[in-house]
């Protein structure tokens, strides 16, 4: 199979943005194309979770291609709920590895902050099993159910899940692209408003606007996609026998490691899907980066902070960088590309191999990508 390389990476600052989604995507795409020194890609893969409802626009492949001045370049749109960004990277990877194209632009984003929070919550909630939604289940509600079960079964405490927020805010304070660039204290997290018991406001990622883009090609570049894998789980949470780990992540990680030909022991930096802070701890164990039921301990010990043994979410993660849905999976790979190239100013870590993990829906469609510096 042909190797696939990352030739260019770019993203907008995440947060509350006045620009339209096509403008945000254009900003990210032009940075990535300029970074790669490429004027025109062979194809475009667009990731957007639900622009139809957030902004009222559809036909997103064509809309973005035309908006970028590439109206004759083949474009498709990819969607797997909140992991759409990484699904788009996979789609581009597959097209390149199969020899269909030599250069593909991947761009994803979401525009949400112009809507009231209950409306945003309702639109994101469409990715939940319809029966479970009739019980008033929202993403925080399901995350609350998972967190309580995980706290019972895995020895996770309130302090451990709060420390993830403290760490990721501290990282975000060093990232000019982050939605939140201010640190928070452990007390502030533990005393923030209750959302879905035991989850509090500061355990949850914000609603953000933003876009991220990558240029992938078959010609050699500084960073290679060493492996990429997908994992699935039933959309219904009640169909799962275990709430305390995500099968979809475990399967995706196995596939990615198999493709890469190495295991978690070579990973030196990770970007994981901390939409709710306990998910960072669950994800570290599901990807094999941390032994079972040790994620809380290593977090309290500072091993996952910048400067620690395995820096996790040096960008600030979804918690502090923000979570513009379909931008997220791409922005994780943008961050790792910068980290591996040594250009992550203010938050640089020492690493040759990075892992990105993205969760779609309530962990129904997850992805793991491994990057390696050549």
Partner 1 sequence: MIQDVLGASRCPRCRRVVAPPARMCPDHPVAMEPHLVPAVGEVVSFTTLHSPPEGFRSPLHIAIVELEGGARLFCHGEETRGVKIGSRVSVEDVDSVFYFSHMGFADRARLFWRRHGYRGEKVAAIGKSFVKGFWKGRSREKP
Under the rule (CB under 8 A), what is the footprint of partner 1? 118, 121-122, 125, 131-132, 134-138, 140-141, 144-146, 148-149, 152, 193-199, 234, 236-240, 243
What residues pair up with 80 in beta bridges, in sequence order? 82
Tell me the CA distances in angstroms from 245 to 139, 203, 240, 371, one per residue in order: 16, 18, 10, 24
For partner 1, the closer CB: 204 or 368: 204
**Residue 31, φ and ψ in degrees, nearest 5:** -65, -45
**CB closer to partner 1, 234 vs 345:** 234
Contact 283, 273 (CB under 8 A): yes
In the block, which residue shows the tokens 């949850």?
Answer: 204
**Share in percent of the chain as helix, strand, coil (round to 5):** 40, 20, 40
Instruction: Output the smallest distance, CB 136 to partner 1, in A.
Output: 4
Neighbouring C-beta atoms of residue 32, cutoff 10 Å:
28
72 vs 193 by CB, closer to partner 1:
193
Pick 133 or 373: Cβ nearer partner 1: 133
Residue closer to partner 1, measured from CB, 9 or 146: 146
Cβ atoms 47, 240 nearer than 8 A: no
In degrees to the nearest 10, what's the CA dihedral of 174, 177, 181, 184? -80
Inter-residue contact 86 to 336 (CB < 8 Å)? no
């Amino acid at each position: 199979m042909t190797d696939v390389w990352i030739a260019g990476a770019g993203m907008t600052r995440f947060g509350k943005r006045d620009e339209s989604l096509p403008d945000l995507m254009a900003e990210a795409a032009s940075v990535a194309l300029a970074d790669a020194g490429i004027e025109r890609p062979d194809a475009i893969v667009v990731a957007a979770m639900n622009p139809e409802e957030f902004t009222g626009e559809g036909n997103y492949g064509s809309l973005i291609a035309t908006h970028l001045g590439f109206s004759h370049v083949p474009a498709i749109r990819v969607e797997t709920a909140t992991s759409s960004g990484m699904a788009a990277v996979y789609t581009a990877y597959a097209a390149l590895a199969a020899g269909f194209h030599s250069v593909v632009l991947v761009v994803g984003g979401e525009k949400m902050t112009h809507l009231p929070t209950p409306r945003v919550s309702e639109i994101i909630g469409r990715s939940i099993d319809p029966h479970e939604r009739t019980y008033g289940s929202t993403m925080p509600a399901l995350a609350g159910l998972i967190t309580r079960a995980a706290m019972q079964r895995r020895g996770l405490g309130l302090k451990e899940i709060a420390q993830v927020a403290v760490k990721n805010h501290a990282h975000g304070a060093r990232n000019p692209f982050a939605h939140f660039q201010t640190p928070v204290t452990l007390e502030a997290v533990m005393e923030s408003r209750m959302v879905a018991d035991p989850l509090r406001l500061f355990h949850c990622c914000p609603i953000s606007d933003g876009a991220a883009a990558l240029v992938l090609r078959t010609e050699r570049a500084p960073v290679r996609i060493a492996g990429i894998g997908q994992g699935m789980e039933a959309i219904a949470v009640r169909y799962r026998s275990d709430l305390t780990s995500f099968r979809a992540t475990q399967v995706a990680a196995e596939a990615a490691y198999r493709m890469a030909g190495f295991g978690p022991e070579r990973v030196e930096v990770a970007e994981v899907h901390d939409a709710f802070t306990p998910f960072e701890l669950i994800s570290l164990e599901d990807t094999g980066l941390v032994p079972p039921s040790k994620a809380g301990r290593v977090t309290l010990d500072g091993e996952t902070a910048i400067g620690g043994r395995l820096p996790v979410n040096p960008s600030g993660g979804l918690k502090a960088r923000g979570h513009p849905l379909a931008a997220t999976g791409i922005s994780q790979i943008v961050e790792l590309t910068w980290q591996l190239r040594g250009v992550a100013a203010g938050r640089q870590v020492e690493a040759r191999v990075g892992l990105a993990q993205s969760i779609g829906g309530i962990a129904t469609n997850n992805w793991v990508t491994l990057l390696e510096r050549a």
